[in-house]
Structure 1
Amino acid sequence: MVVHIILGVALWMAWLEFDNARKTRAKVAPLKGAAAKGKGKPEPDDEAAHELKLGLDGIAFKSSLQGTAILALALAFYALYLKFVYPIVLLP
């Protein structure tokens, strides 16, 4: 039961990240056109938007693909759970 709750929370968090990214793209799209015409802010550097920090105090991951990473980790965890903890065996 706990694994199903963890998977549900991870899927919910991934959905929140996808929704947030969609809203952010909708807000940034008009600025990109204005920046090309010299009327708006310049576009942020894409490489600065991706960050991974590993340290003794924890792990920090910032990316535009954060929702995808959460979803992939959740599904991988669930697949490992089904394979090793709760294997499904066909009866003869």
Structure 2
Amino acid sequence: MFARLAPTYLQRIKDQLPPADTQYKLLQMDESRFLFSSSVGSVFEFGSSGLILNLGGITWYGEGKLLGKDYPLQVGYFSPTVNGLLAPPQS
């Protein structure tokens, strides 16, 4: 199955890449933020809020979005067995 699907997958990756003549412009780079834009309308930002990728004015990744859609995720980090340890100490 891998051998049959690999050419299709690799072509899809290639189709998603920007054109070879795409130009990039560094907008900010310091200890708190790395930001650049491209001539095809994308903006890439990495800072204290994490990674954000905008394409054509739409947030495609970051700020709770993936492929331009909201995907809220609630995660129980600890199992219920530690709830007593998470409660404030009683005097």
Coarse TM-score class (shorter-chain normalised): under 0.3
Larger radius of gyration: 2
Kindly indicate which of the two structures has a greater share of residues assigned to strand.
2
TM-score for both structures, normalised by structure 2: 0.26
TM-score for both structures, normalised by structure 1: 0.26
